[in-house]
Amino acid sequence: MRIPYGTTGLELDRDLTGAEVLESAIGTLKAEGSEDDIVCKAMAAPMGSPRLAELAKGKKTATIIVSDHTRPVPSKHILPFMLAELREGNPDIDVTLLIATGFHRPTTHEELVNKVGEKIANEEKFVCHDSRNPEANVDIGVLPSGARLVIDKVAAETDLLVSEGFIEPHFFAGFSGGRKSILPGVCDQVTVLGNHCSKFIDSPYARTGILEGNPLHNDMVAAAKLAKLQYIVNVVIDEEKKVAAAFAGDPFQAHETGCAFLKGYCRVKPQRKGDIVITSNGGAPLDQNMYQSVKGLSAAEAAAAPGAVLIISSRCNDGTGGESFYHALHDCDTLENLMKRILATPMDKTDPDQWEYQILCRMMLKHRIIFVSDPSMQKTVEEMKLEYAPDLNTALDRAYADKGRDAHLVVIPNGISVIVEP
């Protein structure tokens, strides 16, 4: 079996007799027409909203929130049609494309070209959101949790705010897409940190595929409404990262419809919890660092028996993905004390990357975790109190040595593509 890893994949060359393989059924989705056709059809009949051309009439400015380099959104098949419709409704409208970096590093021009194409990258006006620059952001209200909503001035001051994005299972927000374009997409760090606080992350509803009762989702929805997000184009992508379905129109109706659609393809249920669970973070670009790889591991966690061995295949060509993420695990004396400190941290004192190491620490306290990654990552992986293996076969051999040859093996080839239910 080939497991996603970087741009090439890794071979799992062992007897898998008796193993359960949990995969998304998105590959069975037969889309009608090209990627462009799918997007245009959705935009021609938006849900709960006028067409984008109608919304553009009488507006001087419009801002399209665009996903950043960490998201495999096929923007080349979305943005040209959003720009065309805006200008169809108002040829003189002043359009800005705002890159929703959230709490990530800035997107480079080369990454932007790869994402949106040379024509749009070179001819349109782009602004890269900076969550750490208070001068670039403005306070526009209070969220249900009590956190302040501070967003990019470009988003706050535009006449028409719209966004593109994609919907996938998300390990603590339930699903990506929709309201996440605002929070965390274009929010100041004070708002992102408040939303990702330890209390919210600790909620049993802050899990993959769950929206109802999810405290992070509730604040995200409120943020999108306060920011006056008016229209979205969100897509579902297949295993080749091509557009398989599109949902356009009202930000909340279109997103909820897309989530329900995707859940029908992504829901998986192991017949028996795994003593050993193998997964990946979906390959490039999603396995570019350890930080992002926590997402794939959360799928393994959901399919694991108590004390299971979790194995993840992740290239990590961009390193850890965050200094505070690295240091939290490297510097702590014990994982137990780290978790106590995290849970005692109030909302307004949330550390950068705290949510990511909180979830990883939660899994490490319950499971042995083996990272299959680039050899250059071995020292870093071990410094973070995790176990390194050079390949999947070595990792699986170690797991069997620990759990016994009769251990039940569950394989989730792409951990970020599934919703594991009990």
Nearest C-alpha neighbor of 65 from the set 227, 205, 261, 245: 227
Active-site choice (69, 77, 104, 217):
104
Per-residue pLDDT of the chain (422 residues), as tens digits, is 999 999 999 999 999 999 999 999 988 887 789 999 999 999 999 999 999 999 999 999 999 999 998 788 999 999 999 999 999 999 999 999 999 999 888 999 999 999 999 999 999 999 999 999 999 999 999 999 999 999 999 999 999 999 999 999 999 999 999 999 999 999 999 999 999 999 999 999 999 999 999 999 999 999 999 999 999 999 999 878 899 999 999 999 999 999 999 999 999 999 999 999 999 999 998 899 999 999 999 999 999 999 999 999 999 999 999 899 999 999 999 999 999 999 999 999 999 889 999 999 999 999 999 999 999 999 999 999 999 999 999 999 999 999 999 999 999 999 999 999 97
Structural domains of the chain ordered from first start: 2-22+270-420 (3.90.226.30), 28-265 (3.40.50.11440)
Q: Would you state the pLDDT for residue 31? A: 79
DSSP state of 401: H
Taking the CB of residue 382, how many other CB atoms lie within 10 A of it?
13
> Is 69 assigned a catalytic role?
no
Give DSSP secondary structure letters for 47-108: BTS--HHHHHTT-SEEEEEEE-TTS---GGGTHHHHHHHHHHH-TT-EEEEEEE-TTSPPPP
Task: Say how far apart CA 330 and CA 384 lie, in whole Å.
Answer: 5
Task: Say how far apart CA 414 and CA 300 lie, in whole Å.
Answer: 10
Q: Would you state the pLDDT for residue 71? A: 82
Q: Is 309 exposed, middle or buried (0-12, 13-18, 19+ CB in 10 A)?
A: buried
> What residue type is assigned to position 158 of the chain?
T
Q: Give the relative orientation of helices 323-331 and 335-343 as an angle to the nearest 10 degrees.
A: 130
> Is 104 assigned a catalytic role?
yes
Q: Would you state the pLDDT for residue 422? A: 77
Q: Would you state the pLDDT for residue 92? A: 97
Token code pair at residue 146? 């009590």
Q: Give the relative orientation of helices 335-343 and 354-366 as an angle to the nearest 10 degrees.
A: 140
Backbone angles phi, psi at 44, to 5 degrees: -75, -20
**Tokens 């056709």 found at:** 37
Computed over its alpha carbons, how large is the radius of gyration of the chain? 21
Strand order from edge to edge, sheet including 125-128:
125-128, 94-100, 61-67, 160-166, 229-237, 243-249
* Tens-digit pLDDT profile for residues 26-42: 888 877 899 999 999 99
Q: Is 331 exposed, middle or buried (0-12, 13-18, 19+ CB in 10 A)?
A: exposed
Nearest C-alpha neighbor of 191 from the set 251, 154, 141: 141
Task: Say how far apart CA 405 and CA 237 lie, in whole Å.
Answer: 37
The enclosing H or E element of 73 equals: none
Active-site choice (69, 77, 170, 196):
170
Q: What does pTM read for this prediction?
A: 0.91
